[in-house]
Amino acid sequence: MIKVNSSVKLNMPAIRRLTEAATTALEMTAEHLHTEIVQAQVVPRDTGNLQGESFFVDDSKSKNGKVSLVHSTPYARRLYFHPEYKFSKIENPHAKGKWFEDWTEGGKREKDAIKAYAEFYRRLTGV
């Protein structure tokens, strides 16, 4: 009969640094997507409220692994879910309803967030 013992020592400072880097990379990814969406000129724009100060990243829950892109105007939902509206294309030539869809599953830019997160995490950790 062979008896085997093992012990594991966790490098808690290193784990903490990696966890903090993951949170920071998540926040950076959200900011990156925010910038991409604005630069893609897909958000309907008239006075600029929907795309300006009323469109922001909420990272208050980033330590729990959640960030959100938020439109805080009362009419954002109505415009988003009604792509049949005829949006003015003077300010944003690609304005449309459901403007986030290109970055969601099945969209033509669905992998942008994954790639951005991986790059930010790699830069922050060297991993």
Domain extent listing, the chain: 12-125
What is the helix, strand, coil percentage profile of the chain, to 5? 45, 5, 50
pLDDT tens, 57-114?
999 999 999 999 999 998 999 999 998 888 888 889 999 999 999 999 999 999 999 9
Averaged pLDDT score across all residues of the chain: 93
At 45, the pLDDT band (50, 70, 90 cuts) reads confident
113 CB-near residues (< 8 Å, 6+ apart): 29, 32, 33, 103
The per-residue pLDDT for 97 is 93
- pLDDT at residue 48 tops 80: no
Provide the token pair at 83. Answer: 């792509």
